[in-house]
């Protein structure tokens, strides 16, 4: 027997991935190879992943490997060499897809002062929601009832074997198209299926008379218990691997009808998952899903896009270990600040009640715009449409005020299943959307499969550069049956409503001509078969590959309309992978080069009398909207919840002023200059008085300085005087940090000169009860917010006058005893000599 001892240098200990490397190597030898963890005293079989994991080997544990058998000499040499040189490197750092805590934006002071217990994540879908924290993706074996009864031992054994083989095949298919990290996970799962100890445990359970289902469940529980006892939080999480594999094994044996994914929500819930497939997301009851936390996932993944369209607050890149023991507890996901509150104290609850009030007020105001057409202040129409990925989203989109569907991404209909949907299934889905549209038009984009959007059953090999690879229109020729079936189903559905066909990822005229030939062929077939369809169905293309921008004139001869895919166009023009967090800062659509490209596209299309929209995520960015309006786009399509706000914003813009702004932006040298230009533009937009009733509140129940500053900043936001209320509040806090602004006599005058107030303002809050304000008590707060860029010092003089007046008792009394908001307004205007 040969032995050697070493120290485990893996930061996460021996979990499935590194264990898999050890197991694979050891299985090359006939000798018996054992792994002993000296700390726990547990010895495991080094040829079994599960057995290795069971040794609970953690970082810096001392371990001994002993080898005994015919080839022990060679095995010793190879295994020792592996442990000495490679073992340390065989586990990549855990991928969270998110930034380090240090990279998150600082939290607003009104929130951070509450010192709420929280975990950060990258915010990818806004709003906030509270519910019970539940893990999805994993399975609760205790809730599996009505198990199939045991037949003969032989039959059960045979069933189990078939299940094993099916699952192994599935994993192999997944491996073929998986990206690196994902592939490692699949490999680890495959290793569990092949694990000798795993099989032995299952067989042991079968031998005790259990059915295959009972044996799988008992085995899952056995290993889960073993891993749950691990000293490492990370290892305890690996228990999910076992549960995942065992549940998939049950599905492989009995089918997904019998063991459907357990995604039934029972009440308001916040779901946490490593990553959720779009179909898993669609399965969740959206009325109960209050928030979504993904440990992985990018900001433009399709699940995230879906979450946005259902307005589910969503974070990605959350370190689940930090959520610790919060499963089953109430948590709150804030998709704007990018955090999960794990202890909802009273001040936190009051903070979010105030947030809710702001959101409700915004919603009510926007409701007025919902059913109006998108129109600028000078009467220029801009169609505001919705992006959807399934027909079930169409109805809520139109309810949100969508004037059309500007992008129906259809690839999701093909993903997360074992075969493509057939023509009738697609036809029914399109008809469902048509029904919701009630005559409004729907742009159906043909499949954008391939590259980063894998569909297992097409067996498209993994690629090094998927975004530059075999994707969208580029795969249609090879999968022409699939493409033709889709075209047939769209054409058939076009008999019932207003459909348009759009082709993604066009980069040359050849592709357009080829598509048109196929389309002509399908039309001919349908005519022959006397199947009705819209003979005039428009054909359009996505403009997302920069080459198309230079052949717009030629494209205009062949197609009816264009839609700019700003997500891809940005990544291709700037050479920045849209899902790579490391290069996000270069993914900037305010870059003058990008703006010039967009303007060139729109003006070229219009020169040829054709129609052009934009359907990337950029369309929902309020700050960029003046530039898009300046370009003269015919339509902007976005996730449905953004539509009412965009309609309101559009209604306040003058298209001619926007054009001048765009011209200036295109002359800027950097994105930052464009940003400043936009800020300046916003500031000049309105002309509001210094004192107005919207910014005065009387006898309100505010209990802290934080609540006062937040409420008054929120009022300014609701009055349209500031866009970033948290930033304005931070500026006020910066002043409070230097000296508290309590004046005595129950008065306080928080103040700031800030770039975040677009129109200088005097805000007032008379509180129901005095509160502590620094060393003083205060009940009457007058907040002064002065625009940083405002010309002259007129406002400054008014503010000084106000400060002098407050020192006079009579003035204070008038304010303290004012009977109404109008009284306060009149008193201030009179005393400060404002017209
Ligand atoms: C785009 O690229 O902007 C677009 C809308 O398409 P997708 O995000 O589906 O690639
Ligand atoms: Mg695209």
Rounded to the nearest 5 percent, the helix, strand and coil shares of the chain are 50, 15, 35
Closest CA to 644 of 311, 412, 349: 311
Q: Quick one: which H or E segment has residue 123?
A: strand 122-125
The response to whether residue 578 sits with its C-beta less than 6 Å from ligand 1 reads: no
- Residues annotated as catalytic are 15, 302, 615, 751
Task: Dump strand ranges (E) for 510-618.
Answer: 539-543, 561-564, 611-614
> Could you tell me the distance, in angstroms and rounded to a whole number, from the CA of residue 298 to the centre of ligand 1?
14
CA end-to-end span of the chain, whole Å? 99
Pick the CATH number of 378-684 from 3.40.50.720, 3.40.50.200, 3.20.20.60, 2.170.190.11: 3.20.20.60
> Does the CB atom of residue 409 touch ligand 1 within 6 A?
yes
Cβ burial, residue 89 (10 Å; 0-12/13-18/19+): exposed
Output the CA 271–ligand 1 centroid distance in Å: 26
From the CA of 565, give the closest atom in ligand 1: 3
The alpha carbon of 570 and the centre of ligand 1 are apart by a number of angstroms equal to 10
Output the CA 507–ligand 2 centroid distance in Å: 12
Number of other CB atoms surrounding residue 266 within 10 Å = 9
Q: Does the beta carbon of 565 lie inside 6 Å of ligand 1?
A: yes
Nearest to 641 by CA among 443, 396, 820: 396
Give the number of other Cβ atoms within 10 Å of residue 520's Cβ.
10
Query: Could you give the angle at the alpha carbon of 334 between the alpha carbons of 623 and 722, nearest 5°?
Result: 35
Please report the pLDDT score of residue 615 as a whole number. Answer: 97
Residue in 309, 567, 597 to alter for ligand 1 test, most ligand atoms within 8 A of Cβ: 567
Contacts of residue 507, defined as CB under 8 A and 6 or more positions apart, other chains included, come to 545, 547, 548
**569 CA distance to ligand 1 middle (Å):** 8
For the CA of 618, the closest atom of ligand 1 is 3
Count of positions (residues) in the chain: 835
Quote the CA–CA distance of 642 and 510 in Å, as a whole number: 36
Centre of ligand 1 from the C-alpha of residue 616, in Å: 6
Tokens found for residue 758: 């677009």
H-assigned helices in 262-345: 278-283, 302-309
10 Å Cβ neighbour count for 651? 14
Q: How far is the CA of 505 from the centre of ligand 2 (A)?
A: 7
Ligand sitting nearest the alpha carbon of 388: 1
Cβ(566) – ligand 1 distance below 6 Å: yes
Separation of CA 735 and ligand 2 centre (Å) = 46
What is the pLDDT at residue 181? 41
Kindly give the distance from the C-alpha atom of residue 575 to the centroid of ligand 2, in angstroms, as a whole number: 14
Please check whether residue 783 is in contact with residue 721, taking contact to mean a CB–CB distance below 8 angstroms.
Answer: no
CATH architecture of the domain with residue range 2-89: 2-Layer Sandwich (3.30)
Q: Which of 569, 587, 615, 639 to mutate to test the pocket of ligand 1 (most atoms within 8 A of CB)?
A: 615
What is the position in ligand 1's atom list of the atom closest to the CA of 544?
Answer: 2
Please state the atom number of ligand 1 nearest to the C-alpha of residue 566: 3
Q: Whose alpha carbon is nearest atom 10 of ligand 1?
A: 568
| Whether residue 567 has its Cβ less than 6 Å from ligand 1 | yes
CATH of the domain spanning 101-137+263-343: 3.50.30.10
Q: Is the Cβ atom of 544 under 6 angstroms away from ligand 1?
A: yes
- Residue 357, helix vs strand vs coil: helix
Whole-angstrom Cα distance, residue 227 to residue 239?
6
State the DSSP H helix or E strand holding residue 124, giving kind and residue range, or none if neither. strand 122-125
Cβ–Cβ < 8 Å for 403, 296: no
Q: Distance between CA atoms of 623 and 639, rounded to whole angstroms?
A: 16
Question: Domain map of the chain by residue range?
Answer: 2-89, 101-137+263-343, 141-254, 378-684, 688-831
Ligand with the closest atom to the CA of 300 = 1
374 lines ligand 1 (CB under 6 A): no
| Ligand 1 atom closest to 448 (CA) | 9
Dist. CA 448 → ligand 1 center (Å): 9
Q: Is the dihedral of CA 740, 746, 751, 756 positive or negative?
A: positive
CATH top class, domain 688-831: alpha beta
CB within 8 Å of 735: residues ≥ 6 apart: 741, 750, 751, 752
How far apart CA 542 and CA 448 sit, in angstroms, is: 11
Query: Which residues are within 8 A (CB) of 461 and not within 5 positions of it... i.e. 6 or more apart?
Result: 176, 177
Total Cβ atoms within 10 A of residue 349: 13
**Which ligand does the CA of 638 lie closest to?**
1
Q: Give the Cα separation of 193 and 835 in Å (integer).
A: 81
Residue 354 and residue 708: Cα distance in Å, rounded? 11
From 124, 304, 409, 415, the mutation candidate for ligand 1 (largest count of ligand atoms within 8 A of CB) is 409
Q: Whose CA is nearest to atom 6 of ligand 1?
A: 565
In ligand 1, the atom with minimum distance to the C-alpha of 564 is 3
Question: How crowded is residue 84: how many other Cβ atoms within 10 Å of its Cβ?
Answer: 11
Q: Looking at the CA of 452, name the nearest ligand.
A: 1
Ligand 1 pocket, 466 CB below 6 A?
Answer: no
Question: Which residue's CA is the closest to the ligand 1 atom numbered 4?
Answer: 565
Q: Whose CA is nearest to atom 1 of ligand 1?
A: 565
CATH topology of domain 141-254: Enzyme I; Chain A, domain 2 (1.10.274)
Atom of ligand 1 nearest to the CA of 615: 5
Ligand 2 (ion): residues with CB under 5 Å are 544, 565, 568
DSSP 772-784: EETTEEEEEEEEE
Q: Any long-range contacts for 731-739 (C-beta under 8 Å, 24+ apart)? A: 731/756, 732/783, 732/785, 733/109, 733/110, 733/113, 733/709, 736/705, 736/709, 736/774, 739/774
Residues 276, 294 contacting (CB under 8 angstroms): yes
Residue whose entry in the numeric block shows the structure tokens 């893996």 = 10
CA 218 to chain centre: 37
> SS3 for 653?
coil
Q: Does ligand 1 lie within 6 Å of residue 619's CB atom?
A: no
Q: Are 745 and 781 in contact (CB under 8 A)?
A: no
d(CA 157, CA 163): 10
Q: What pLDDT, on the 0 to 100 scale, is given for residue 180? A: 45
**Rounded to a whole number, what is the largest CA-CA distance in the chain?**
103
Determine the distance separating the centroid of ligand 1 and the alpha carbon of 430, expressed in angstroms. Answer: 20
- Tell me, using a 6 A CB cutoff, whether residue 568 lines ligand 1: yes
Rounded to whole angstroms, how far apart are CA atoms 448 and 411? 6
Point out the ligand 1 atom lying closest to the alpha carbon of residue 567: 3
Q: Which ligand is nearest to the CA of 302?
A: 1
Q: Which ligand is nearest to the CA of 453?
A: 1
Q: Which residues of the chain have pLDDT under 50?
A: 93-102, 179-181, 300
Rg over alpha carbons for the chain, rounded to the nearest Å, is 31
The answer to whether the CB of 451 is under 6 A from ligand 1 is no
pLDDT at 240: 62
CA distances from 677 to 551, 628, 739 (A): 31, 14, 33
The C-alpha atoms of residue 470 and residue 460 are separated, in whole angstroms, by: 8
594, β-bridge pairs = none
């Amino acid at each position: 027997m040969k032995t050697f001892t070493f120290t485990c240098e893996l930061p996460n200990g021996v979990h499935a991935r590194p264990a898999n490397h050890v197991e694979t190597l050891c299985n090359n030898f006939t000798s018996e190879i054992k792994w002993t963890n000296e700390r726990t005293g547990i010895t495991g079989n080094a040829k079994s992943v599960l057995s290795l994991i069971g040794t609970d080997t953690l970082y810096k544990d001392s371990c001994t490997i002993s080898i005994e058998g015919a080839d022990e000499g060679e095995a010793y040499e190879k295994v020792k060499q592996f442990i000495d040189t490679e073992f340390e490197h065989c586990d990549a750092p855990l991928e969270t897809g998110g930034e380090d805590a240090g990279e998150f934006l600082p939290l607003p002071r009104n929130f951070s002062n509450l010192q709420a217990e929280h975990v950060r994540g990258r915010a990818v879908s806004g709003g906030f929601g509270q519910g019970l924290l539940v893990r999805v993706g994993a399975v609760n074996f205790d809730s599996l009832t009505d198990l199939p009864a045991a037949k003969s031992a032989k039959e059960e054994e045979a069933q189990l074997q078939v299940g094993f083989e099916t699952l192994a095949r599935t994993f192999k298919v997944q491996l073929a198209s998986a990206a690196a990290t994902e592939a490692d996970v699949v490999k680890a799962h495959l290793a569990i299926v092949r694990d000798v100890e795993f099989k032995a445990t299952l067989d042991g359970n079968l031998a005790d008379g259990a059915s295959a289902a009972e044996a799988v469940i008992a085995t899952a529980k056995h290993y889960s218990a073993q891993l749950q006892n691990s000293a490492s939080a990370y290892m305890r999480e690996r228990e999910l691997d076992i549960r995942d594999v065992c549940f998939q094994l049950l599905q492989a044996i009995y089918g997904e009808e019998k063991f459907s994914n357990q995604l039934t929500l029972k009440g308001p819930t916040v779901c946490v998952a490593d990553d959720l497939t779009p179909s898993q997301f669609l399965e969740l009851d959206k009325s109960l899903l209050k928030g979504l936390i993904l440990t992985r996932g990018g900001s433009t993944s399709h699940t995230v896009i879906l979450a946005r369209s259902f307005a589910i607050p969503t974070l990605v890149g959350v370190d689940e270990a930090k959520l610790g023991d919060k499963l089953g507890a109430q948590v709150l996901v804030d998709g704007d600040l990018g955090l999960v509150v794990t202890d909802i104290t009273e001040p936190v609850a009051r903070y979010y009640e105030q947030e809710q009030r702001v959101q409700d007020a915004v919603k009510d105001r926007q409701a007025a715009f919902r059913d109006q057409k998108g129109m600028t202040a000078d009467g220029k129409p801009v169609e505001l449409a919705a992006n959807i990925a399934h027909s079930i989203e169409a109805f809520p989109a139109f309810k949100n005020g969508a004037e059309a569907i500007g992008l129906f991404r259809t690839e999701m209909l093909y993903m997360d299943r074992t075969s493509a949907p057939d023509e009738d299934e697609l036809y029914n889905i399109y008809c469902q959307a048509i029904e919701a549209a009630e005559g409004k038009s729907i742009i159906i984009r043909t499949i954008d499969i391939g590259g980063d959007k894998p569909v297992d059953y097409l067996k498209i090999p993994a690629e090094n550069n998927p975004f530059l690879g075999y994707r969208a229109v580029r795969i249609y020729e090879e999968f022409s049956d699939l493409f033709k079936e889709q075209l047939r189903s769209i054409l058939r559905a076009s008999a019932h409503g207003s459909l348009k066909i759009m082709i993604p990822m066009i980069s040359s005229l050849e592709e357009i001509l080829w598509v048109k030939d196929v389309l002509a062929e399908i039309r001919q077939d349908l005519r022959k078969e006397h199947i009705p369809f819209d003979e005039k169905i428009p054909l359009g293309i996505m403009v997302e590959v920069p080459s198309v921008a230079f052949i717009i004139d030629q494209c205009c001869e062949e197609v009816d309309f264009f839609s700019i895919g700003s997500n891809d166009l940005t990544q291709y023009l700037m050479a920045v992978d849209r899902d790579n967090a490391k290069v996000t800062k270069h993914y900037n659509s305010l870059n003058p080069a990008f703006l010039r490209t967009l303007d060139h596209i729109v003006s070229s299309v219009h020169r040829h009398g054709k129609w052009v929209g934009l359907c990337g995520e950029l369309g929902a960015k309020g700050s960029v909207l003046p530039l898009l309006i300046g370009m003269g786009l015919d339509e902007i399509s976005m996730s449905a919840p953004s539509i009412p706000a965009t309609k309101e914003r559009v209604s306040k813009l003058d298209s001619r002023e926007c054009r001048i702004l765009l011209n200036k932006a295109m002359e800027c040298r950097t994105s930052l200059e464009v940003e400043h230009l936009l800020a300046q533009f916003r500031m000049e937009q309105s002309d509001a008085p210094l004192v107005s009733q919207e910014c005065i509140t009387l006898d309100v129940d505010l209990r802290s300085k934080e609540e006062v500053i937040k409420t008054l900043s929120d009022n300014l936001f609701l009055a349209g005087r500031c866009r970033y209320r948290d930033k304005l509040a931070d500026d006020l806090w910066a002043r409070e940090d230097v000296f508290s602004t309590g004046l005595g006599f129950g008065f306080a005058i928080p103040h700031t000169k800030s770039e975040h107030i677009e129109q200088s303002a005097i805000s007032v809050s008379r509180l129901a009860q005095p509160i502590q304000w620094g060393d003083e008590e205060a009940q009457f707060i007058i907040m002064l917010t002065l625009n940083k860029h405002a010309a002259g010092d007129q406002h400054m003089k008014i503010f000084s006058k106000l400060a002098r007046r407050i020192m006079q008792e009579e003035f204070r009394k008038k304010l303290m005893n004012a009977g109404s908001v109008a009284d306060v307004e009149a008193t201030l205007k009179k005393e400060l000599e404002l017209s």
